[in-house]
A and B are shown apart, each in its own frame.
Chain A
Amino acid sequence: MSFEKITLELKEGIYYLGFGKNEPKSLTVITEQTLLELDQAFEDISKDKNAKGLVLFSHKPDCFLAGMDVTVIQSLSSEIEATNGCEKGQSVFNKIEDMKIPSIALVDGVCLGGGLEMILACDKIICSDNSKTALGLPEVMLGVLPGFGGTYRLPKKVGLVNSLDYLLTGKQIKAKKAVKLGLVEYIMPKERMLEKAAEYLFKKEESKTLQETLTEKASESFIARGVIFRKARQTVLEKTKGFYPAPLKILDHLENSYGKRRSSYLANEARAFGELSQTSQSKALQHVFFLHDNAKKIENKDEVQSVSHGAVLGGGTMGGGIAWLMANSGQAPILKDINNAGLELGLKQASLVFSKALKRRKISMDQFQRKQRSIKPTLSYNGFKKVDLVVEAVIEKMDIKKAVFTEVEKHVGSDCLLTSNTSSLSIEEMSGALEKPERFAGLHFFNPVNKMPLVEIIKHSKVSDETVDRLYKWVLDVKKVPVVVNDCPGFLVNRILAPFLNEAAYLLEEGVSIESIDSAVLNFGMPMGACRLMDEIGLDVCAHVGEIMETGLGARAKANPLSQAAVEAGLLGKKNKKGFYTYDEKEKSSGVNPDMTKLIQDHGSNDMDETTIQMRLILPMINEAASILDEKIVTNADAVDLGVIFGIGFPPFRGGLLRYADNEGLDRIVGAIKKFASEVNADRYALSSYLQKLVDDKKKFYEA
């Protein structure tokens, strides 16, 4: 049998099995073909009586194996098919474990999912000192569990408690940590790994220390295990609020299987995988995975001119956040403001994020120094000639922004991209201030910049494709998620979020309590209650956005007067510690603000049921998203769902707003909107013709 996906070479009795030889993509994944070839190869090696050892390695730098091809998981259409698939994979990897000869894996770069499961079956693992080297079992993030023996072999290698940490979160393990855990034997320079493999293949393992043996013995005990699982289950429920079945299933499976023989352990694993693979949550998470993965693809990537040096205008919270992003990505930004106080605000914002990373040991003090000091705070335009990208983040006033762009255009080179981080002003109108509008676009970040992955790239009539392509590439370079949007009030995300927040205010007016609204929203799976979100955004900003939406979109976006009234009463949200909730010095919430409840015109208490509250808030979003597609603000449903998931944290287990709508059935959605239109308000629930047409054509958002 000749191999395509793998290479196999015999040298002095040792088999060298390599991956990624002819792989054009930067990451090698395991396909069904790979498994077939591996099965054959392991079979052959087992039969060779003269074989002395097996070495697994990758031809590709920075990637050992990036796991199973997710399209394979996605194509599994039944529990039985999924379970059978797992069993096949398990039997292939068992062959490594059952070999009489020693085996060793040489990992340079990422080794994830099925890749790690495979090498867990080897006797030893050696990692390269490459900073990109990382191991992990991210299956839980796709709503499943490692189905090729990972749940069986990882606990055996690193102990039950440690393995839970990685199985339940999917987080990656760097080489040094992996050695500490006992998962990896040695770290070596990658250039030396292959030549040293044979030597280390036969090296005797160092015996375990007393402490390691004791820890192992401790987790073997039946009682200790009970405590471990109870505690883990509690943590999982706190973190996932029960929305995600995979981590709980992993715990159930481990508790049942731990200590059992390999065959029954693996059979349980395969069955659990099968069950999880068909849950709606897993399907939704796979959908999100592909949304994200597709967003990372750029055609002719190498032809797009890179942006490597940026400048930020305006040192406020957003300006400082964007400066942080550039500094963190090694792009030594210029931060320009009109006074030192503004610059210091920006520096504080960046420093705050770096300090937190330092505390969590994500960066060292030296890195903090270097990165923070790579920001050049200045009042002048010196150096703007050398930047590729300017992001404007000054005050949200059209005339000021226009004046800023007219000025900055004089100081930059002809290739420099000019962008505005406006959240509410018209990009089309702003582009009028520029002599060369083709290099101008909106570049909308979300607050806080370090936490929010989404960045909207907003087009206008004169923008060039090159500008959009370069911005898209840059957003990916700084590890954010780009979405290209046409200009409209609120762009994509805020336009969808606005009716949600606006409707929450109307619910309050109808007498629904702050607590009921927020708990209904949380129970839907949103990361934050609607009222709490308004506190975070700031009620002044909410009032401003409400006004813009109403002006731009008309009667259906009629702004509820509550946020304006709150601003007048001095309730601005978290920023001045008084909003729907009150906040203490450390910005911790200390309960509902009585001043706000007084402000809400009380129409008596309304004990609306949770589902109705949820529908009242979610349906206007779906309806608005339909209008957005109708107006071709974005190209397809993918973009909408990417926006709501990465921009406002719409629950990933629902796969996105439109995916949720499709799953619920658009005819039912339309029916509910119509019902609210007649019972609540005809303007705000005026059905989008696009949505009506989908129903008439018996189509879904994702089929349009």
Chain B
Amino acid sequence: MQAVYLVKGNRGPQAKSGTILKDVAAPYLGHYLIRDIMDQVDIPVDEVDEVIVGNTGNPAKFPNVGRVIALEAGLDKKTSGYSVHRNCASGMEALSQAYVKIALGRSDVIFAGGVESMSQMPLLFGEKMTEFFIDMMKAKSPADKMKVFSSFRFPYLNPVIAIEQGLTDPFCGLNMGQTAEKLAREFNLTREQQDQFANDSHAKAIKAQAEGKFVDEIVGIIAGKNMDTLVTEDNGPRGDSSMEKLAKLRPYFEKRTGTVTVGNSCPITDGGSMWLLCSEAAVKKYNLEPMARMVDFHFHGLEPERMGLGPVMAMDGVFKRTGMSLEQMDLVEINEAFAAQVLGCLEVMKSKELSERWKVEKLGELDLNKLNVNGGAIALGHPVGSTGSRLVVTLAHELAKQKKQYGVASLCIGGGQGGAVIIENLVR
């Protein structure tokens, strides 16, 4: 196995869906990130082996968004490109595939990342309407057509909201918010605990913005209907967030008895992120100064209805795989899909009994000062296809700023999985 270097990583600003980035189609959330990195290195455009892009709301117009991004970025036509889908960890899946290819010596230069335009996820016609269209097309004679036409019923026009369906587990039938409610019930996580966690996330993100922590990682994007404005900041973090305001929100997923609100969940978001990964040979050949080394990764499955605990199993798995431990980690990112879900993870980690239940051996209680130091998805947003690599971008930049060595980025994955990546900072 060869070393895999995270040479340069960047991301676009993340914006709540339906706001400033709503007019940007998925490929354009990613292509300019590659161009920005290519402009900083001396790698010829025809020396890039592959572009791998995580994306879940596959735009009908760009069935393989990875290839479109490769071409729009100005890379050579011979550079192959594809898209990967592992729900919330699609961006991390892209990184892990790049990792395997480089570690095995098959590839030397790969761009991997993720994009998601949740604003542009489509409304679909239901099955009945689709059947109606097919019958209409089949009908030859006017009489047949009339017959089919008379079968039409107005409810056929009710749209299927792709995003809503995508966020509902087909196996257990719960939507993601309901799985968070389940964890809250099982671990006795109160509304106040969750709101406090959310409030802290906003406070950390606002502080990080004020300190310019994201300036190095964010590349401004052309936005607006006429493509004449420049967006350079995340619009999720609320400077005016408070416990009082959070307390006023009604539970969203279980209206009467629930604790999960839109305030203590992550918002639906548009955004993209990108990494240039290289082999040792490529680093030498192009005289590169990598930001970090990708130590390893791990994905792990669990009950779909408790998908929020995925990060625990995934981190445990990657530590087992590498022989490393949580104590070695200077910084930890656990994606904040829901406050309840992160708090649930922390409960499992500190409880021996719970750890045993899920066969978690290598974790233990987490020092909260290491966790999501610049805020998490509750404030910054969660563009599903991108977050897996976005976490690694933010982690690598923060490790570099703090001049610390190791960090782990992890997230829960709809469908009952978790993913984790360990990186080693190389910026001195």
Contacts and interface: CB of A to CB of B under 8 A. Distances in A.
Q: Is B a genuine binding partner of A? A: yes
B3 interface: no
Interface string B226-247: 1111101000000000000000
A369 B25 contact: yes
Given A372-B222, A373-B28, A344 B228 contact: yes
Between B31, B42, B72, B228, the greatest number of chain A beta carbons within 10 A of the residue's beta carbon is seen for B228
Interface residues on A, range: 20 to 34
A332 B45 CA distance: 14
Interface string A342-376: 01100110111001000000000000111011011
Contacts of A382: 36, 39-40
Contacts of B39: 334, 376, 382-383, 386
A347 B28 contact: no
A351 B226 contact: yes
B226 A355 contact: yes
Contact of B222 (A332, A377, A383): A377
Contacts of A383: 35, 38-40
A340 interface: yes
A378 B74 CA distance: 17
A369 B227 contact: yes
Contacts of A340: 220, 230, 232
Interface string A379-397: 0001101100000000000
A351 B230 CA distance: 13
Nearest to B25: A369
Contacts of A376: 32, 35-36, 39
B175 to A, nearest CB: 33
Contacts of B28: 369, 373
B60 to A, nearest CB: 14
Contacts, number: 57
A370 B72 contact: yes
Between A350, A368, A372, A373, the greatest number of chain B beta carbons within 10 A of the residue's beta carbon is seen for A373
Interface residues on B, range: 20 to 34
Contacts of A372: 222, 227
B227 A373 contact: yes
Between B40, B42, B230, B232, the greatest number of chain A beta carbons within 10 A of the residue's beta carbon is seen for B230
A351 B227 contact: yes
Interface in A663-698: none
A352 B224 CA distance: 13
Contacts of B232: 340
A376 B72 CA distance: 12
Contacts of B35: 332, 376, 383
A373 B228 contact: no
B36 A347 contact: no
Given A332-B74, A373-B28, A377-B220, A344 B40 contact: no
A247 to B, nearest CB: 37
A385 B220 CA distance: 21
B25 A347 contact: no
Nearest to A384: B39
Nearest to B224: A351
Contacts of B227: 347, 351, 368-369, 372-373
Interface in A379-430: 382-383, 385-386
Contact of A344 (B42, B74, B230): B230
Given A382-B39, A383-B39, A386-B39, A373 B32 contact: yes
Contact of B228 (A334, A351, A378, A386): A351
Contacts of A350: 228
Interface in B25-69: 25, 28, 31-32, 35-36, 38-40, 42
Interface string B142-158: 00000000000000000
A334 B229 CA distance: 16
Contacts of A351: 226-228
Contacts of B226: 348, 351-352, 355
Nearest to A348: B228
A373 B36 contact: no
Nearest to A371: B227
Contact of A347 (B42, B72, B228): B228
Nearest to A386: B39
A681 to B, nearest CB: 47
A368 B220 CA distance: 19
B3 to A, nearest CB: 26
Nearest to B40: A382
Nearest to A341: B230
Contacts of A377: 220, 222, 230
Contacts of B74: 332
A378 B31 CA distance: 15
B234 to A, nearest CB: 16
Contacts of B228: 344, 347-348, 350-352
A347 B32 contact: no
A350 B38 CA distance: 24
B222 to A, nearest CB: 6
Contacts of A343: 220, 230
B20 to A, nearest CB: 13
A382 B232 CA distance: 17
Contacts of A352: 226, 228
A639 B32 CA distance: 42
Contact of A375 (B25, B31, B222, B229): B222
13 contacts: A332-B35, A334-B39, A347-B229, A347-B230, A351-B226, A351-B227, A373-B227, A376-B35, A377-B222, A378-B36, A382-B39, A383-B38, A383-B40
Interface of A: 332, 334, 340, 343-344, 347-348, 350-352, 355, 368-370, 372-373, 375-378, 382-383, 385-386
Given A340-B230, A350-B228, A372-B222, 9 more contacts: A340-B220, A343-B230, A348-B228, A352-B226, A373-B31, A375-B222, A382-B39, A383-B35, A383-B38
10 tightest CB-CB pairs across the interface, nearest first?
A383-B39, A351-B228, A348-B228, A372-B227, A382-B39, A347-B228, A351-B226, A382-B40, A340-B230, A344-B230
